[in-house]
Amino acid sequence: MDPTSGYAFVGLENLHNDIYPLIDASTNKDLNQSGKVVLITGAGRGIGRAIALQYAHASVASIILCARTVPELDEVEASIKKINSSVKVTKFQLDVTNEDAVKACLDAVKKDEGRLNVLVNNAGTTEPWVPIGESKPSNWWNTFEVNLKGPYLLMQAFLPLLVETAKADGTTVDVVNISSIGALIVHPGVSAYQVSKLAVQRLTEFAAAEYGKLGVNVVGLHPGGVLTALSEGIASIREYMVDTPELCGGFTVWLTKGARTWLEGRYLSSTWDVTKLESMREEIVAGDKLKVKMVI
């Protein structure tokens, strides 16, 4: 793979395909994040579900599950309760592209919780993979609506509450925007998905620049090559879908444990070994690496 994709940034020997002890909240109690309120979009299945279950293992106070399909959320809630019955679960049937629905969700969270510690923008979609001239404009633009407008609307609505929480608690809060290695490569036929994910990564940098000093740590995260409902029907990439959703779940929980502000605004991959990543901290910060730039 093209080295500029960042795939092997930490070295091929330091890549993971599945969750491992350092980032597994079910066994590593150092990842405990009691008291936190976490909101996850696209939480009904796959990666979003795995993130929610890892936060249940981390003993957060409250998990707010958002998705378009309520029965899926019911199953995730039941799974959370099996892991940790003390975790409060709230479910919202939410279309992330609907401004009024996002505002209603914000109002409910402010009323019920009065705070938010972690926002995970995971909801996403992709259009049929065809060249631009063969694409259907409504499908192409819908990908932008979900992948870019969705995270924008969630951040636009919830960033003030996140800032209030950081100030009140004297701590750092987190926004994790699920990006993609697709943001950094060009694969013919995938223009809407890859351009929208590139835009999400740049939007992440803007949010970090605007809210980092206010206690909000914003990062973009590639979840790995996960076989999901979005990817399972795409034959050309199926052989690369070798990573488990639990890997991203664990990495996300690791990210929000402690104030990892040296990573703010950066692109990260769930496949990267966290010990190796931390050992590269000085190099990353000094070189202002893992940002969207032109190499000249």
> Has residue 291 been placed in a domain?
no
- 36 catalytic? Reply is no
- 276 catalytic? Reply is no
Residue 86 has a pLDDT of: 97
Asked if residue 241 has pLDDT above 70, the reply is: no
| CATH number, domain with residue 139 | 3.40.50.720
The answer to whether the CB of 17 falls within 8 A of the CB of 242 is: yes
> Which amino acid appears at position 170 of this protein?
G
> Has residue 280 been placed in a domain?
yes
Distance CA 71, CA 31 (A): 29
> Has residue 109 been placed in a domain?
yes
Q: Express each pLDDT in 4-50 by its tens digit.
A: 889 999 999 999 999 999 999 999 999 999 999 999 999 999 999 99
Q: Express each pLDDT in 46-87 by its tens digit.
A: 999 999 999 999 999 999 999 998 899 999 999 999 999 999
Give me the number of domains the chain comprises: 1
For the record, the structure tokens of 2 come out as: 């093209």
> Has residue 34 been placed in a domain?
yes
Residue 238 has a pLDDT of: 52
> Has residue 63 been placed in a domain?
yes
From 32, 101, 80, 6, select the one nearest 254 (Cα to Cα): 32
Computed over every residue of the chain, the mean pLDDT equals 94
Query: Which residue among the candidates 193, 211, 257, 267 is catalytic per the annotation?
Result: 193
Q: Express each pLDDT in 159-217 by its tens digit.
A: 999 999 999 999 999 999 999 999 999 999 999 999 999 999 999 999 999 999 999 99
Q: Express each pLDDT in 135-163 by its tens digit.
A: 999 999 999 999 999 999 999 999 999 99
Burial code (b: 16+ CB inside 10 Å, e: under 16) for 177-186 equals bbbbbbbbbe
Polymer length in residues for the chain: 296
pLDDT range class, residue 295, cuts 50, 70, 90: confident
Range of the domain at 152: 3-286
Query: Which residue among the candidates 36, 91, 149, 197 is catalytic per the annotation?
Result: 197
Q: Among 93-97, 160-164, 235-239, 277-281, which is the least confidently predicted range?
A: 235-239
Q: Express each pLDDT in 206-233 by its tens digit.
A: 999 999 999 999 999 999 988 665 655 5
> Has residue 99 been placed in a domain?
yes
Q: What is the pTM of this model?
A: 0.95
> Has residue 292 been placed in a domain?
no
> Has residue 90 been placed in a domain?
yes
Distance CA 180, CA 268 (A): 9
